[in-house]
Structure 1
Amino acid sequence: MPPETPLAMPAQPLSRWSKKHVRPLEAPKLWKTPWLSRIFVFSGLAVAIALGGREMYGVVEVGGVTVLEWALLGLFLINFSWIALAFASSIVGFFALLGRPAIETPAPPERLSSRNALVMPIYNEQPSRVFGGIQAIYDEIQALGFGEHFDCFLVSDTTDPDVWIAEERAFVALREALGPDARVYYRHRAKNHRRKAGNIEDFVTRWGGAYDHMVIFDADSLMTGHAVVALAAAMEADPDAGIIQTLPLIINRNTLFARVQQFASRVYGPVIAAGIAVWYGRDGNYWGHNAIIRMQAFAEGAGLPDLKGRPPFGGLIMSHDFVEAALVRRKGWAVYMLPRIEGSYEESPPSLIDLSQRDRRWCQGNLQHTALLGTKGLYPLSRQHFLNGIFSYLASPLWMFMLLCGIALALQARFIRPEYFTDEFSLFPAWPRFDAERALALFGITMAILIAPKIFGLIVHILNGRSRRGSGGAFRILVSAFLEIILSSLFAPIMMLVQSGSVFQILAGKATGWNPQRRDDGSIPFSDIRRRHQWHTALGAVTLVSALMIAPSLAGWMSPTIAGLLLAIPLSWLSGHLASGLFLKRLGLMMIPEETEPPAIAVSARENGRRLAALGVDEGDGLEAIARDPDLYRAHEKMLPAAPPRPRGQIEPDRVMAAAKLSEAETLGEAIGWLSAKEKTVVFQDRALLAMAVKLGKA
């Protein structure tokens, strides 16, 4: 690592704030609030809720409204408002992109004056993929002639000791490939305190003072040199910008589920992103990666405190990116999106179960934001971002309750006799009745509003010649969109139950861990899939039988939900099935332009990763690798920080056990068999213990 240039990053107060803490604007002429589009979005939302509520009331008010019908009406309005907001936002995005390419390659600026850090936090990832990707980014920036303005940092929080040494092996190989003058650096933290947020905070407080901006990546992120340089130029042109976010498009996916997500991201994503970019304006959000951040703004405004109480609602802030954006905006910096910059990419989970595992962590992080809604000094749209994230997970149990409420009403109408003699005088008994014709019309309107953003995305995508040709032509795009809607409709009820389960677990006080994501395509053992989804299938069967007993029409109305649940096990298996995704690819379906003409950076990253993998950096035991490679041993020792002094008399159990096992072992293989993962980590951190292990390897 280069010499440290510390930068203070104090934890920000949540319960106190005043306007005197807001910085003055340096370029007020650039600050334009999009009032017109905001009025349109929120007026459209209000009108949609009013009309939808009136129609739903007309459905249930026949013969008087019962308590259950009032509950159904309330749940409908909440869920309807969610899709109505997305609909209104997508209209804005549609007209913003109509007649224009959804994304385009930015022209490089004539010059840059800033110093920028490219920061990639990593946690137990496959080193060849990660280091191959960062090399591709670095090479493209160098080829554009802006290399002197960018330094690359791989900041590791890896806890697996063998992966840690694999990272160092990959780093040594990368530096050899790039040459001695390459400004590519690596740091491993002994303890992953505060996880990813703490990893970035550690970088900012130790090295941030040397840089004007930093570009944050995830381990699966890729950004072209053009995109990175364009972000730096945008920051230089806007002295009040604190965070500028790009739209990361999904690429390199081949399983069925991942290809569905990839197609949706490329075809529908730009319209949705353009909409929120327009009406959010400079009060936008941050997704944690593929964005550029002004170092001063982040250091002075985004220091995260721990929340009061215990997890899942207290302690470490998990979905830190939303909070960092809100705090940076509170300080007076702009946060906005440039969604039309081409060259920002990421990957997605390969299966439904992989998505649900990641989603569980996101669910906890977003529900935790309920404790932050009252933070002093936040801008209204920052609170709306929190609410949006919270409701994105509460929507699932609310949808489930709405379905259960509808079933309960049908049961009541079918099996419970009306009470003719009540305490209150009435000419007719009060029992649930519905206006079937009006209900059918409302269902059609709801479906149209739900699908409209996808239609808008399709129109924009097909009207652009390059996008249309790159996706196989208009006919294949339409067939792909039809398949995507069908598959998404079948996956939706499964995710409804998965997310509902996550919400209930979190409300019950059960916190989640932080496991590394699976990046590669591949299937999950069928036994695991059956165990995960057997209750979903059982619930689908019970719902089908119950609906048929009540009324065949109810079963027909619920058929998409019932079908998804009944098929949960085969659907989940199929979601991670590589052959199914590749079969669609051979048919030219679910194609995106980035597959027809792969971006050069994706090709380079893949080739770099294969070359590193061929060197064996991902394989083998870390102690064996260090013992047989003196150069790696010396490099590892150089990268170790100075050992902090230990108080006399303080016993570290893992260190004592590691020392005892190394002393007792006669061969390195024997020591490796005895050492636990924690003990092996201690050996890698301690020069004296490491020397004992290397000596065993030479015996």
Structure 2
Amino acid sequence: MDSLILAPVDSDTAKDPAEAPPTPVENRLSMPAQNLFKFERKHMRKPLAPALWQTPWLARLVTFGGGLALTVYGGWQMYKVIDVGGVTTLKWTLLALFVLNFSWIALSFAASVVGFVALLSRRPTPPLPESLRETTAVVMPIYNETPSRVFAALQTIFEDVQATGLGRHFDWFFLSDTTNPDVWIAEERAFIAIRRRLGPNARIFYRRREKNVGRKAGNIEDFVSRWGGAYAHMVVLDADSLMTGPTIVKLAAAMEADPDSGIIQTLPLIINRNTLFARVQQFAARIYGPVIAMGLSCWMGRDGNYWGHNAIIRTEAFARHCGLPDLRGRPPWGGHILSHDFVEAALIRRAGYSVYMLPTLGGSYEESPPSLIDISIRDRRWCQGNLQHSRVLFAHGLSWASRQHFLTGIFGYLTSPLWLMQLLVGIVIVFQASYFKPEYFTSEFALFPTFPRFDAQRSLELFALTMGILLAPKFFGLLVAIYEPETRRGSGGAIMLLISTLFEVVLSALLAPIMMLIQTGHVVHIVFGFDTGWDPQRRDDGSVPLMDIVKRHRSHVAMGALSLFAGFMISPSLVAWMSPTIAGLILAIPISWLTSQRWLGLVFRRAGVLVTPEETATPPIAKRGKALSKALARDEDEEINGLAAIHADPELRALHEAWLPARKPRQRGSVTADRALAETKIADAETIEDVVAWLNRGERLVALSDRALIGMIARLPNKADKQEARAAE
């Protein structure tokens, strides 16, 4: 099959597929921006299949009732800890911070209990359908990605869907927002190549926007507005997504069988990771993730959430109800909604469509950032997007579950500064008790003095309870993994699963204080009005330069050293209490460097630690995707300058010009600086090498977008030809 897929099309028997238009005929859908704060319930659609709308009352009672009960109990125990000789203002502050942080882990624990029970009694996944009625678009938004990776991924998914026998029901789109001119031309070369590999019957399309207005949400909106009318559904991928053919077909069948479904989300598992940091993330997602996802799926029912990729969406409903408005004000609080997926799920649910997850469907994969520094870059963007949701939280007509999803995202980032504040208040209380003479007898009448003390025994018991609740979801995931024979064997057996879990717990404990300070910094930056932007994500494994690590973590090391010094000055017992936090901060640089190393991750893999079933028995789609990506990277020079590529290949140049959007004639006197400079430099150039050397990135982008400038470039000789001509003269 591989050789057949990669074989070129015979030009004598078939028209060159590359010459077909890059996009199909437009079939437009209107996608108006929604008014977040104006909605009338009477406009909410009525269910067409009311029997499917069953409210999971028991799961919600256990999750939220159990979480509330645990929070009340933990708060009461904390009150008893500090209520020794009276409660001061600082102690009240400590209690409030503890309750906020404890409520977060209590809710997660209760949901994981639900997920644990549900996983042990789960039903088998539905069989592959024999037929489909509707046509689905599979769309992959890309932004300055490595073409060999994304084109290999989509081809791999395409092949797997074709193998189901239902491939005729799917069209495939690369939705490029690429701003790097060299990557843009590399994408076009890769698109020409994939069309030739797969032949004229493969309905694969490519569209590039000149400006990435609205970022990913705007990219999807552009597709829906222009072509959405032709497709009943769309499967949205990320640039690092992989989904098996049966999974995509089952999603389409599930949406056809449920006329009220608006979004159906899968649970993507992390694969193909090699650095130690990414392998820890991969192991945690594989072993603990299913318990957490199942608990979430159980309590939210049809009031679910959307994670922006590896999901299927009802196109017409999405167009009518999910157009995103810009928030008032400037970024980071205003402007485009960064974490658009949560808001889109809330809006389509507001309109009367269901949103739910199929956490046990399988066959859905993604990748993760390879290092702590890479994940912190992505995390800052997510932090801004989730904090923006505070502007959407009280939108009219939303279900309470949608608001809960917003709160979960917001609180997920606020826990870091809250945890830091709790630590600082605790240190201040100990410092006060150690260095200042306490005011035993206040101005208020009391029979007994106020001593600044804690109940040490109860404090230890509460600490043990907190750690137990915090680690319980991991323990549940471990039990499920041991219970499932395939997962147990694929992870190296019960003993290796236990060793891997212990290692993950220890390393996560050391990473936690570093992430606490990183996320606290993100929150502070956003609160003070700094926008994060949207940089492309580094997806490949590889080592981060040591100096970059030192610069990023030197403040964390300084904080750890200061905490250690202050702790010893105040009380050695305080150092013992804070030792995990202090150790993580002091060791931030070696931890970050070591966990970013690919070789160290591979050492752990060979030792059988942090191994997942998808590594022991690699899914065929992952194996095929990796092999194809390597083959494409060898065959195509992705590092070539876009101007040089256009100059050297007349066929590529002709197709590139044909695919450029039609433009209105330029008005006289209206010219941008980049265009003026690009035209001047091209006119002054004697060879194509001059143009490549002289034009900066912005000027290259303008030149490649302008047919007149492309014509000027095409007429330039290369340096060798110029020298030969001069020698002949």
What's the TM-score, normalizing by structure 1? 0.98
Distance across 2 between alignment mates of 1:385 and 1:421: 48
Residues 1:93 and 2:115 aligned together: yes
Indicate how the Cα distance of structure 1 residues 586 and 106 shifts in structure 2: closer, same or farther if over 3 A, else same.
farther
Structure 1: distance between partners of 2:157 and 2:446: 76
Instruction: Answer whether contact 1:243 1:294 (CA < 8 A) is retained.
Output: yes
Change in Cα spacing, 1:617 to 1:153, as seen in structure 2 (3 Å) is farther
Task: Call closer, same or farther: CA 1:679–1:176 in 2, change over 3 Å.
Answer: same
SS in structure 2 opposite 1:634?
A: helix
1:163-562 alignment, distance < 5 Å: 163-420=183-440, 422-562=442-582
Q: 1:11 aligns with which of 30, 33, 46?
A: 33
User: Where in structure 2 are there 5+ consecutive unaligned residues?
Assistant: 1-22, 723-729
Q: What CA deviation, in whole Å up to 9, does each residue of 1:4-51 have, x standing for no partner?
A: 101000000012110122112111111111112111211101110111
Match in the other structure for 1:55? 77
CA distance in 2, matches of 1:651, 1:73: 63
How far did residue 421 of structure 1 move? Answer: 5.1
Q: Aligned-pair distance for 1:616? A: 2.0
Q: Which residue of 2 aligns with 1:586?
A: 606
Secondary structure class of the residue paired with 1:335: strand
Deviation at 1:683, TM superposition (A): 1.1
Deviates more, 1:162-171 or 1:32-41: 32-41
**Structure 2 residue corresponding to 1:634, chosen from 654, 658, 662:** 654
Name the residue aligned to 1:683.
Answer: 703
| CA 441–278 in structure 1, closer or farther in 2 if over 3 Å, else same | same
> Which of the residues 650, 657, 660 maps onto 2:677?
657
Look up the match of 2:91: 69
Q: Which amino acid aligns with 2:371?
A: S
Does the 8 Å contact 1:106/1:342 carry over to 2?
A: no
How many residue pairs align between the two structures?
697
Give the one of 685, 694, 697 matched to 1:674: 694
Instruction: Please say if residues 686 and 717 of structure 2, whose CA atoms lie closer than 8 Å, have aligned partners that are also in contact.
Output: no
Instruction: Supply the distance in 1 between the matched residues of 2:132 and 2:409 (Cα, whole angstroms).
Output: 36
Q: Say whether residues 1:21 and 2:43 are aligned partners.
A: yes
Distance 1:168 1:557 in 2: 58
State the match for 1:597 in structure 2: 617
Instruction: Report SS of the residue matched to 2:138.
Output: strand
Bigger mean CA deviation after superposition, 641-650 or 353-362: 641-650
The alpha carbon displacement at 1:100 in A equals: 4.7
Q: Which amino acid aligns with 2:680?
A: A
Q: Give 1:569's aligned residue.
A: 589
2 CA distance for matches of 1:578 and 1:140?
Answer: 30
Q: Which moved more, 1:409-418 or 1:641-650?
A: 641-650
CA distance in 1, matches of 2:664, 2:100: 55
Identity %: 60
SS at match of 2:716: helix
- What is the aligned-residue RMSD (CA, Å)? 1.1
Residue 649 of structure 1: how far off its partner (Å): 3.0
Whichever residue aligns with residue 33 of structure 2, its letter is A
Report the secondary structure of 1:558's partner residue.
helix
Q: Does residue 616 in structure 1 map to residue 603 in structure 2?
A: no
CA–CA distance in structure 2, aligned partners of residues 608 and 107 of structure 1: 29
Matches of 2:668 and 2:33, distance apart in 1: 33
| 2-structure distance, mates of 1:546, 1:619 | 52
Inter-partner Cα distance in structure 2 for 1:617 and 1:377 = 52
- Measured in 2, the distance between the counterparts of 1:691 and 1:456 equals 65
Check whether the contact 1:90–1:456 (CA below 8 A) recurs between aligned residues.
yes
Moved more, 15-24 or 144-153: 15-24
The range that moved more, 112-121 or 643-652, is 643-652
More displaced 10-residue stretch of structure 1: 151-160 or 538-547:
538-547
Match among 54, 59, 63 for residue 37 of structure 1: 59
Structure 1 residues 697, 204: closer, same or farther in 2, change over 3 A?
Answer: farther
1:678, 1:420 → 2: CA distance? 70
Answer yes or no: is the 8 Å Cα contact 1:494–1:536 preserved in 2. Answer: yes
Structure 1 residue 674: Cα displacement = 1.1
SS at structure 2 position matched to 1:378: coil
1: distance between equivalents of 2:68 and 2:243?
Answer: 39
Contact 1:66 1:431 in 2 (8 A): no
Q: Is the 8 A contact 2:114 2:295 kept in 1?
A: yes
CA contact (8 A) 2:440 2:451 kept: no
Work out the CA distance in 2 between the residues paired with 1:105 and 1:527: 49
**TM-aligned CA deviation for residue 638 of structure 1:** 2.2
